[in-house]
Amino acid sequence: MTLISAVAALVPRDVDTGTPAHLAPRWLRVVEEHIVEVGDGPPPSTPDVVVDDGVLAPGFLDVHCHGGGGASFSEGAEVAATARAAHRVAGTTTMLASLVTEPLDVLAEQLETLRPLVASGELAGVHLEGPWLSPRHRGAHDPEHLVPPEPAALERLLGTGLVRMVTLAPELDGGLDAIRRVVAAGATAAIGHTDASYECSGRALDAGATAGTHLFNAMAGLHHREPGPAAALLERPEAFIELIADGVHVHPAMLRLAFAQHPERFVLVSDAMAAAAAADGAYRLGGLDVQVRDGVARLIDAEGRAGAIAGSTLTIAGAVRHAVREASVPPAQALAAATENPARMVGLDEVGRLAPGMRADLVHLDEDLAVRAVMHRGAWL
């Protein structure tokens, strides 16, 4: 049993009173892998651990990540474990493995290689980002393998029981039916890599989509006569919205504008590829070549020229720090967007909050929001 006292901890949003997430003095008691008791103010007895500076937060969640530490989630369980470990020491204690567009047989094989990590709890599931995406907004996805969603393909991949989230373009033939099928399988359907109109995006939300993949990126931008998917997502209260806060994907002003709407719906994601927590250099994302220079990942064409952004080299801790320092997002809002909001987005009810019954995953951040210590399942790393 461990009693922890923090001068500032993230207090989760209270849905009954409407009180938003905020920072306040708090103590918590950990027994084995879980938080069993939480209270406000001074602890009831002498604490075993005192966090007397910075912030104590739940372990971060990343629901959109392709790899890290030089490894990709598409390269098999052993390599995927390397990526998982690289993000864990950076404070991300729960994550989905995101897979990019590949042929159906390849995706099915990749899913099976990740099954041991999902079964053991190392991964909370898999996010399929493709192959059901718009060729016009494909980003770093191989156009040769982009296809409309066919029922047989959906059944094959969703039937593995490993998929927790699917990003798709609802304007594709069968797109709305695909959203209904994803939701029926118990996964989160997200609008992304899409050329959908505002009206089509609204129909997708009506069909059961409850998330938007990396808002503003790989979709039509906001326009006063053609508002597009971004406006549809921003105005719908049931929609969670991903944002990549790395200073490359989204300008700080747009981060501020988005968070000012409904902060309880925003989710910070890394969209990281293998170069996260690793060195610059040449990498692969799916079947495509990527060059990372100064921490920015871009596709490389046959002539060696840099093109579209190919994911990021971000960690969630870095996203929180950027949102607060560069976009002036209040710290509690940024931390909630890295913890309880993503947990609600993909239906994880044992992580994301400092509350009784939650898994004892914790991050101690210093005054500059840099990670100082990480607890995973009740043990400090």
Can you say whether the dihedral through the CA atoms of 213, 327, 237, 198 is positive or negative? negative
What percent of the chain is modeled with pLDDT above 70?
99
Which pLDDT score is estimated for 251? 96
Closest C-alpha among 266, 209, 204 to residue 241: 266
pLDDT (average), residues 215-232: 93
The answer on pLDDT for 126 being more than 80 is yes
- Give me the catalytic one of 62, 195, 271, 361: 271
pLDDT tens readout for residues 239-263: 999 999 999 999 999 999 999 988 9
pLDDT band at 302 (very low <50, low <70, confident <90, very high): low
Fold of the CATH domain 2-57+355-380: Urease, subunit C; domain 1 (2.30.40)
pLDDT tens readout for residues 160-217: 999 999 999 999 999 999 999 999 999 999 999 999 999 999 999 999 999 999 999 9
pLDDT tens readout for residues 327-380: 999 999 999 999 999 999 999 999 999 999 999 999 999 999 999 999 999 999
Domain ranges of the chain: 2-57+355-380, 60-345
Domains 2-57+355-380 and 60-345 are alike in CATH topology: no
Reading the block at residue 370, the tokens are 């840099």
The answer on pLDDT for 305 being more than 80 is no
Closest C-alpha among 161, 124, 162, 164 to residue 359: 124
> pTM for the whole thing?
0.96
pLDDT (average), residues 18-35: 96
Assess contact for 50 and 83: CB atoms under 8 A: no
pLDDT tens readout for residues 64-86: 999 999 999 999 999 999 999 99
Assess contact for 218 and 228: CB atoms under 8 A: no
Fold of the CATH domain 60-345: TIM Barrel (3.20.20)
pLDDT tens readout for residues 273-285: 999 999 999 988 8
Which pLDDT score is estimated for 262? 86
Which pLDDT score is estimated for 308? 85
Residue 105 annotated to the active site: no
**CA 337 distance to own-chain centroid:** 9
Average model confidence (pLDDT) for the chain?
95
The answer on pLDDT for 235 being more than 90 is yes
Reading the block at residue 244, the tokens are 């990549």
Q: What is the dihedral of CA 95, 96, 102, 104, to 10 degrees?
A: 150
Reading the block at residue 41, the tokens are 């103010």
